[in-house]
């Protein structure tokens, strides 16, 4: 951690210091480095593992527009840039050319699962359900800028780096078509924009030392939640298969 994180909470960080502290809050907790992500990038997964990922990932990202809608309702009308961003983000998730979740379902179907299984929360593991609940609780209970920090900076801003590592083996190792992996390609570009706008909203509106420290805490927690969720996919679905293969 940098010195900025060790400053007393009574001191207001300037924008450069605060941005560096937000970025440091994610370091060491990146979901791209979790065991499931590494196995994905190393070509060690099979299509049924991706099917389980799709079933779980839907339960996390499927309600993302709902999380943002709650944050929108908690955002003062005077903070127009934040409200506009939240509306645009919700629109892109739900009403643009194609719903992002429909692209996720298309990928899951290519892996051998079904829309019915993907939409059924019974097919998600406990850690995934916990991540979803944490997102809802954070959106509902926290100051809008803290919720934005958690959901957009701590979670969504990680997506481009995660998917950049994963989309190449999807094409070259696992043999998916461009149509089947459109979900990943779309988010590599869109979430760069979303993440940066999230950073700007947090930098502009976390205007007290207490809000800054609360944002940092929730970015850390958000990164830890996504890392734990990603690792749980390996522990639940991949590790048992590898153990069975080793014993065969």
Mean pLDDT by 10 residues, the chain (248 residues): 48 96 95 96 96 98 94 96 90 74 96 98 98 98 97 91 93 96 85 79 96 98 97 97 76
Identify which of 189, 194, 195, 188 has the alpha carbon closest to the alpha carbon of residue 170. Answer: 188
Among residues 1, 25, 21, the alpha carbon closest in space to that of 11 is found at: 21
pLDDT of 10: 74
* CA dist., res. 12 & res. 22, Å (int): 14
In this predicted structure, what is the pLDDT of residue 245? 73
The answer to whether 22 touches 14, Cβ cutoff 8 Å, is no
Q: Which tokens hold the place of 173?
A: 């190792």
At residue 191, the pLDDT reads: 61
The pLDDT score that the predictor gives to residue 246 is 73
Q: Are 131 and 60 in contact (CB under 8 A)?
A: yes
């Amino acid at each position: 951690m940098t010195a900025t994180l060790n400053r007393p909470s009574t001191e207001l960080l300037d924008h450069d210091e605060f941005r560096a502290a937000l970025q440091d809050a994610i370091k060491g907790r990146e979901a791209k480095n979790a065991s499931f992500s590494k196995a994905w990038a190393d070509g060690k997964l099979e299509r049924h593992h991706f099917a389980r990922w799709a079933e779980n990932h839907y339960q996390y990202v499927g309600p993302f527009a709902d999380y943002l809608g709650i944050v929108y309702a908690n955002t003062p009308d005077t903070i127009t840039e934040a409200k506009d961003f939240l509306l645009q983000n919700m629109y892109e998730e739900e009403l643009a050319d194609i719903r992002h979740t429909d692209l996720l379902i298309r990928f899951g179907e290519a892996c051998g699962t079904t829309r019915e299984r993907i939409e059924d929360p019974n097919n998600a593991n406990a850690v995934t359900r916990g991540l979803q609940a944490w997102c809802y609780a954070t959106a509902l209970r926290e100051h809008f800028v803290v919720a934005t920090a958690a959901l957009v900076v701590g979670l969504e801003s990680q997506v481009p780096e995660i998917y950049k590592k994963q989309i190449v083996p999807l094409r070259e190792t696992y043999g998916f078509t461009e149509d089947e992996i459109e979900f990943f390609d779309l988010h590599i570009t869109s979430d760069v924009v979303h993440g940066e706008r999230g950073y700007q909203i947090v930098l502009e509106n976390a205007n007290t030392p207490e809000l800054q420290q609360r944002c940092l805490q929730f970015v850390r927690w958000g990164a830890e939640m996504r890392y734990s969720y990603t690792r749980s996919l390996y522990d639940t679905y991949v590790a048992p298969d590898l153990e069975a293969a080793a014993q065969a």
